[in-house]
Amino acid sequence: MMSKKTALVVGGSGVIGRNLANYLAKQSDWNTIALAREKESVVAENVKWVSMDLLDPADVAKKIHELQEVTHVFYAAYIPKPTFAEEVEPNLLMLKNILQAIQPVAKNLAHVVINEGVKAYGVHLGPFKTPAKETDARHMPPNFYYTQEDFLKQEQVGKTWHYTVLRPDVVCGFSVGSAMNLPLIIATYAAIAKELGLPLRFPGKWGAYNVLAQAMDATLHAEAMVWAGTSPNTKNDVFNVTNGDLFRWSHVWKDLAKFFDMDLEQPQTISLVQWMADKGEVWDNIVKKYDLKPYKLHQLAAFGFGDFIFGCDYDVISDVTKSRQAGFHRAENSHDMFIRLLQEFRDNKIIP
């Protein structure tokens, strides 16, 4: 009988990490350890939790002995900063601190999977070559993805473990407090508009309403990470992963209007950061009115991320041919994903 593998989910409180930990908790051939500074309250009971500050080498050294059984590291930690340059040092340091510390104690370490995104292709800079391929040239740095990837490649030289770099886009899942969880941004914006007696309007650029976009369900991404960490076809390589389909916000917004029982009107471009800045009291009233869990608006929605996504008035398409040829064939309907996740947030009394 094959012995169990032990996964270390680094960044277990985020949308990627939390959903991966809960996915692995249901798999009979995995033991799971989740790691972050603060424990995520909605992680399965059979997931071991380790609270660790990856920016503090002393804290890492103090607790690293708890990770001796780890065979696979799934890295999903992220620290946002005001500028791209400021993101480089802390995000590299976190990966470096955990990976260099765990190798001497985890004698059976077999694979490390890290997550990047379409910013590797410069989506944040404007229109870029699409469909984006893993072999495309890098953009002008800084980009902490590049520094993490370069460190990982160098660190692996001469070692028995292997690595895989995954590049998903707009990962959507059930999680509260994640910096980039688009369904909650949509839901809070729509609920506030409805409470104020307004119709539902796409808040982004007119051009963004009709271009092609993509996303990835967090549970599907969990499956992709496990595939990446265990397949013989993924060693020391880079793969794009998405739901496998494309959509236009103009079509998705019709589904959203039905879900929220709102009239749909034409787009009206606003900055969510600016126009939601004074809506905390409105949200508090919604929480009280519908007996929701007492989260504050800023805990649920990072509106800056919404402004970015809804401001992309150019196609955002990743070529997933390489991952399909290597053996990952699962897919998800993005329209269904948005509605399913919104219903899950509603069932859990987080949105009305």
- Is residue 207 included in any domain, yes or no? yes
- Is residue 163 included in any domain, yes or no? yes
- Is residue 186 included in any domain, yes or no? yes
Q: List the catalytic residue out of 23, 75, 145, 189.
A: 145
Rounded CA separation 15/13 (Å):
7
For residue 165, the model assigns a pLDDT of: 98
For residue 313, the model assigns a pLDDT of: 98
* Catalytic residue flag (residue 119): yes
Question: One digit per residue, pLDDT tens: the chain, 352 residues?
Answer: 458 999 999 999 889 999 999 999 999 999 999 998 877 555 788 999 999 999 999 999 999 999 999 999 999 999 999 999 999 999 999 999 999 999 999 999 999 999 999 999 999 999 999 999 999 999 999 999 999 999 999 999 999 999 999 999 999 999 887 767 999 999 999 999 999 999 999 999 999 999 999 999 999 999 999 999 999 999 999 999 999 999 999 999 999 999 999 999 999 999 999 999 999 999 999 999 999 999 999 999 999 999 999 999 999 999 999 999 999 999 999 999 999 999 999 999 999 9
Clarify whether residues 257 and 116 are in a common domain. Answer: no
- Is residue 271 included in any domain, yes or no? yes
Give SS3 for 129: coil
Clarify whether residues 42 and 144 are in a common domain. Answer: yes
For residue 290, the model assigns a pLDDT of: 98
Residue with tokens 């265990």: 230
Kindly report, residue by residue over 222-275, the tens digit of the pLDDT.
Answer: 999 999 999 999 999 999 999 999 999 999 999 999 999 999 999 999 999 999
Total domains, the chain: 2
Q: Could you tell me which of 96, 85, 108, 88 has the C-alpha nearest to residue 10? A: 96
For residue 37, the model assigns a pLDDT of: 84
Q: Could you tell me which of 216, 204, 218, 199 has the C-alpha nearest to residue 249? A: 204
Query: Which tokens in the block code for residue 68?
Result: 């001796």
Clarify whether residues 274 and 298 are in a common domain. Answer: yes
For residue 1, the model assigns a pLDDT of: 42
> Which residues share a beta bridge with 112?
73, 163
Clarify whether residues 198 and 341 are in a common domain. Answer: yes
- Is residue 329 included in any domain, yes or no? yes
Give the range of the structural domain holding residue 325, as residue numbers without chain letter. Answer: 173-214+246-347
Clarify whether residues 159 and 300 are in a common domain. Answer: no
Clarify whether residues 225 and 283 are in a common domain. Answer: no
CATH number at residue 235: 3.40.50.720
CB crowding 263-284: b at 16 or more within 10 Å, else e: ebeebebebbeeebeebeebbe
Q: Can you give the pTM of this predicted structure? A: 0.96
Kindly report, residue by residue over 311-342, the tens digit of the pLDDT.
Answer: 999 999 999 999 999 999 999 999 999 999 99
Domain final residue, candidates 202, 225, 240: 240
Residues 6 or more apart whose CB falls under 8 angstroms from that of 245 comprise: 214, 331, 332, 333, 334
- Is residue 309 included in any domain, yes or no? yes
What string of DSSP letters covers 255-282?
Answer: HHHHHHT--B-------HHHHTTT-HHH
What is the DSSP code (8-state) at residue 2? P
- Is residue 276 included in any domain, yes or no? yes
CA 350 vs. chain centroid, Å, equals 19
For residue 87, the model assigns a pLDDT of: 98
**Please, are residues 210 and 248 in contact by the beta-carbon 8 Å criterion?**
yes
Clarify whether residues 20 and 101 are in a common domain. Answer: yes
- The amino acid present at 307, given as its one-letter code, is D
Q: List the catalytic residue out of 4, 48, 119, 205.
A: 119
**Please, are residues 21 and 86 in contact by the beta-carbon 8 Å criterion?**
no
- Is residue 352 included in any domain, yes or no? no
Clarify whether residues 159 and 288 are in a common domain. Answer: no
Q: Could you tell me which of 256, 212, 219, 16 has the C-alpha nearest to residue 123? A: 212
